Amino acid sequence: MPGNRAAVYGRVSTSDGRPEVDNQLSELRRFASTQGWKIADEYIDHESGGKPDRAEFRRMFAHAALRQFDLVPVRALDRLTREGVAETFEYIKRLTSHGVQS
């Protein structure tokens, strides 16, 4: 059913940040479950949020364009990007243009 498919995005900028990613994902999975959302996919990057050329970040936007999910809950906006306020709003606008809530 459209409206309840979630994409989970987690990011850490260090190669040894696995526990932090696990914590992010665990928290987001629990939240999705309490909302009754199905996890459509998970995207995990292990690099700086200051650059837009992250593999899983790009894959998430490609899937958003294909409407493979309806929303992207994030633990904090700095997990999505650290490029700045204008860029953050542009990413949110891009997701919204694909029918995705964030």
- Whether residue 37 is contained in a domain is answered as yes
Q: Which two tokens stand for residue 37?
A: 């959302």
- The pTM score is 0.86
In which domain, by residue range, is 66 found?
5-97
The tally of domains found in the chain comes to: 1
Average pLDDT, the chain: 89
Residue 11's closest CA among 41, 47, 40, 42?
Answer: 47
- Whether residue 36 is contained in a domain is answered as yes
- Whether residue 102 is contained in a domain is answered as no
Q: What does the alpha-carbon distance between residue 23 and residue 27 come to, in Å, rounded to a whole number?
A: 6
What is the CA angle 79-52-20, rounded to 5?
25
- Whether residue 27 is contained in a domain is answered as yes
Average pLDDT of the segment spanning 75-96: 91
- Whether residue 13 is contained in a domain is answered as yes
CATH (domain of 72): 3.40.50.1390
- Whether residue 19 is contained in a domain is answered as yes
pLDDT at 19: 63
Whether the per-residue pLDDT at 101 is higher than 70: the answer is yes
pLDDT at 74: 85
- Whether residue 78 is contained in a domain is answered as yes
Q: What is the pLDDT of residues 34-75, one digit of tens each?
A: 999 999 999 999 888 888 899 999 999 999 999 999 999 988
